[in-house]
Chain A
Amino acid sequence: MSRTIDFEAFRTGPDADGLVRRIHELFEGPTALMEVCGTHTVAIGRAGIRSLMPDGLRLLSGPGCPVCVTPLGEIDMALAAARRPDVVLTTFGDMMRVPGSESSLERERAGGADVRIVTSALDAVEIAAGEPSKEVVFVGVGFETTSPTIAAALMTAERRGVENVSVLPFFKLVPPALDLLVAVPGRALDGFLCPGHVSSIIGSNAYEPVAHGADMPCVVAGFEPLDILAGVVMLLEQVRDVRSGGAARVETQYARAVRPEGNRTALELLDEVFEVVDADWRGIGTIPESGYALRERYAHRDAGAKLGVDRTRPDEPEGCICGAIMLGERIPADCPLFGTVCTPRDPVGPCMVSSEGSCAAHFRYERR
């Protein structure tokens, strides 16, 4: 007889008040903690966690929204692929409304392009198997939670001999972004709330370099309200420790789903299919060794090469400060476009168009 896990207890357990009290007790003066995961951004917004924090404890939202950090040039590549009559473009739903330099996948679909929302990269392989005269292209946006699933789907395509499926590898890696965030001079960050499911893949050990190299407290946290509150408690305990001369370290609040070494199978699969390359992050610029390209032996799975579509570097919309927001230097309320010209229904920049972007979350949960 199996024991069930009461997942509800992580959402509404009796310890929420006590955890908030403990946060207030541990708080010792201006503190800035940053999460780098769109799912944390939404979870924090939805649970109203900011309103429970002491004044002076800032929960910043970093570049953790994969749609938000996909450069305009990459979005334009997806649009160019979608326009090809022989292409079926497959994507997760959150990319559909992202504006490119002109147009969006949603607009292209309305104009007759074959653009299909899928919930798994494997769907792209199935579509390809069923439509051999088309090239099925998958828009590969996401962090390390997502990229292994595309690697696995591509291996399935290889095994089954499905030739007509390829990917636009726009994936980004989280730890290099953390390295950038701690290196900016004058940065006042006191700790990272590290992404739970990315860490299921890469392991909590992945944060050791930034914790020890930059003396930055790191806590890997889950996504339920109690997980996040407990993560903040653990970070504040470390911050207090570091401020009195102790050393920062990596801790795992989300122990039920994160191991120090991560998911070996997933990491090996990633290494088999992809090589790490420098990547462009929207609003931020190039971060070294922060993205993936397909390895030479899988070059036939690279949609850009297959279709002859190149990356471009178009200009960003004027007035949009998404870059500064994603680095935690500004908040949505600082943006002149926020709530006036730029709204969830008519988004200008990526932080608003993605439901996981800072601006979308702020609009939905934090405005009075």
Chain B
Amino acid sequence: MCLAVPGLVREVDGLRAKVDFGGITREVELSLLPDTQVDDYVLVHAGYAIEKVDRESALETMKLFREMAEAVDKERSS
């Protein structure tokens, strides 16, 4: 299953990190994401960070939701 949970990296010690999942902090392995730094958001699956969640992209995606929601087909608008 694809379930991965986003969390905020609070501490990094070599290839392990302490990640804050909104109040609960867990130890996470960084072997798959060795360049992880404190203050990164990461997706965690089965105890491992698998990808960084990019803040800029997140904001961009939310803007895109707004654009899509407001888009109107020009041929159809009268």
Contacts and interface: CB of A to CB of B under 8 A. Distances in A.
A13 B65 CA distance: 9
A5 B43 contact: no
B13 interface: no
Contacts, number: 145
B14 interface: no
- Chain B interface main SS type: mixed
Interface residues of B, number: 39
Contacts of A269: 31-32
A265 B2 contact: no
Assign chain A's interface to a size class: 35 or more
Contact of B46 (A10, A25, A120, A198): A120
Contact of A155 (B1, B31, B43, B53): B31
B45 interface: yes
Contact of B69 (A21, A65, A200): A21
B50 A148 contact: yes
A152 B2 contact: no
A129 to B, nearest CB: 15
Closest 7 CB pairs between A and B? A18-B69, A120-B47, A39-B2, A256-B57, A15-B69, A200-B51, A15-B65
Interface of B: 1-4, 6, 8, 29, 31-34, 39, 41, 43, 45-48, 50-55, 57-58, 60-62, 64-66, 68-73, 76
Interface of A: 2-5, 7, 9-10, 13, 15, 17-19, 21-22, 25-26, 37-40, 65-67, 92, 94, 119-123, 142-143, 145-146, 148-149, 152, 155-156, 195-198, 200-201, 222-223, 226-227, 230, 233, 253-259, 263, 265-266, 269, 356
